[in-house]
C-alpha cells in the first residue's frame, strides 16, 4: 500500500489518491484501472459527478481476492451513500463525507435554480443530518467546512468526524484551518492539489518558476513537486527526493489565499460566487 496516515479510529488512509472530478467519462474506467495497477488505492468520488457506474465497473474487475487490489487495501471517499453503493457495486465505504455545510432543495434536479439563476437551497442545518448519519461506512468526515462549523459539529454529536477535505495547494496553504483540524483530531485531505484553473485570467500553479526549477533539479514533473510539498510536512516518504528547508519556504511563499473551487454564476458577463448569500456558506470567514 502507498504511504498512509492513521485516522483516530486506527484506520489507515493512503496519502495520495485519484480525484475523478472533471474526468472524461470515456476515459474514466481505464484511468481507475491504471491507478490500481501502479499501486494507488484511494479513490475520491461523489454521486453528483455522475461517473460512479464507470468506477463501479473498474472496482468489480480489479478489486477483490486474486485481483489487482485486495479489498483491504482499497480506500473510497465522498459518495452520496445509497446510490453510490449501488453504482460502485460495493457493500460498504471506508469514508463518507458531508460534501458541503448547506443543502440544495430536494428533488430530481441536482442543481435546482431560482428564476435569477441562483441555487434553490434547503433550510436544513448541517447539524441535523450529521446527528443521524449512519449506514455501511467505517468513518465519517466533512468537506468544505470552516473552523467554526467543524467546532459546531463536534459540539452537537458524539460521532467524531475523522477527516476534513478542502481545497489546498501552494496558492492556498490553509495553515490556520489545518492547525484547527489538528487540534480537533481531524486529518486533512487536499482536493485539487495541483490547482484547478478554469479561466485564462487565473494564475497557473503548475507553471510557477519555483515549481519548474525544482522539477528540473529533481528530475520530476511539476505535479510531483506539488504533491511532495503536500506531504513532506508529515515526514512521510513519498517519492525518492526531499526538499530542503529553503525549498519548502520557497513553495510556501507562493501562498496567495487564492481559491479556484468557488461555485460561480455568470450574470451579465460577470462571475460572482453562487452561494455566498447562504447563511452557512463556509468561505465568508477567514478559515
Q: Give percent above pLDDT 90 in the chain.
A: 31
Q: Please tell me whether residue 54 adopts helix, strand or coil conformation.
A: helix
Beta strands in the chain (DSSP E): 4-6, 12-14, 18-19, 42-44, 75-77, 93-98, 103-104, 121-122, 137-143, 163-167, 187-191, 264-267, 270-273
Q: Which of the residues are catalytic?
A: 49
* pLDDT tens digits, 10-32: 778 877 778 777 777 777 788 88
Spatial distance between the Cα atoms of 260 and 31, rounded to a whole number of angstroms: 24
More confident: 253 or 107: 253
pLDDT in tens, 29-88: 888 888 888 777 788 777 767 777 888 788 778 777 777 666 666 544 433 577 778 888
pLDDT, greater one: 48 or 219: 219
Strands 121-122 and 12-14: unpaired
Residue 50: exposure state from Cβ atoms within 10 A (0-12, 13-18, ≥19):
exposed
The helix/strand/coil state of 134 is coil
Which has the closest alpha carbon to 166: 189, 198, 137, 194?
A: 189
The answer to whether the annotation marks 160 as part of a ligand binding site is: no
- Computed over every residue of the chain, the mean pLDDT equals 83
> Tell me, what's the pLDDT at 250?
96
Dist. CA 144–CA 1, nearest whole Å: 27
Which domains, ranges and CATH numbers included, belong to the chain?
Answer: 4-196+255-273 (3.20.20.100), 209-253 (no CATH)
**What is the structure's pLDDT at 127?**
83
CB 2: neighbour CB atoms within 10 A? 17
| pTM of the entire predicted model | 0.75
209, pLDDT greater than 90: yes
Q: How many residues does the chain have?
A: 287
CA distance 22 to 222: 20
Amino acid at each position: 500500500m502507498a504511504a498512509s496516515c492513521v485516522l483516530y479510529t486506527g484506520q489507515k488512509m493512503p496519502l495520495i489518491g485519484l480525484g475523478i472530478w472533471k474526468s472524461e467519462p470515456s476515459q474514466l474506467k481505464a484511468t481507475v484501472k491504471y491507478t490500481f495497477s501502479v499501486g494507488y488505492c484511494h479513490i475520491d468520488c461523489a454521486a453528483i459527478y455522475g461517473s460512479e457506474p464507470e468506477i463501479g465497473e473498474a472496482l468489480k474487475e480489479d478489486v477483490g481476492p486474486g485481483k489487482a487490489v485486495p479489498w483491504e487495501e482499497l480506500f473510497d471517499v465522498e459518495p452520496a451513500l445509497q446510490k453510490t453503493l449501488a453504482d460502485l457495486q460495493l457493500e460498504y465505504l471506508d469514508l463518507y463525507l458531508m460534501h458541503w455545510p448547506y443543502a440544495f432543495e430536494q428533488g430530481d434536479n441536482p442543481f435546482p435554480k431560482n428564476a435569477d439563476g441562483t441555487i434553490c437551497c434547503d433550510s436544513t442545518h448541517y447539524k441535523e443530518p450529521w446527528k443521524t448519519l449512519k449506514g455501511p461506512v467505517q468513518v465519517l468526515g466533512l468537506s468544505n467546512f470552516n473552523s467554526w462549523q467543524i467546532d459546531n459539529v463536534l459540539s452537537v454529536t458524539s460521532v467524531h468526524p475523522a477527516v476534513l477535505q478542502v481545497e489546498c495547494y501552494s496558492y492556498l496553504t490553509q495553515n490556520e484551518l489545518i492547525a484547527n483540524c489538528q487540534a480537533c483530531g481531524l486529518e486533512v485531505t487536499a482536493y485539487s492539489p495541483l490547482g484547478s484553473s478554469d479561466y485564462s485570467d487565473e494564475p497557473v500553479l503548475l507553471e510557477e518558476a519555483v515549481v519548474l526549477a525544482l522539477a528540473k533539479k529533481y528530475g520530476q514533473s511539476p505535479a510531483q513537486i506539488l504533491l511532495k510539498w503536500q506531504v513532506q510536512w508529515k515526514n512521510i516518504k513519498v517519492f525518492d527526493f526531499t526538499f530542503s528547508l529553503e525549498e519548502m519556504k520557497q513553495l510556501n511563499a507562493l501562498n496567495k489565499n487564492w481559491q479556484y473551487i468557488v461555485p460561480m454564476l455568470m450574470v451579465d458577463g460577470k462571475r460572482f460566487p453562487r452561494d455566498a448569500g447562504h447563511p452557512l456558506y463556509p468561505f465568508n470567514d477567514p478559515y
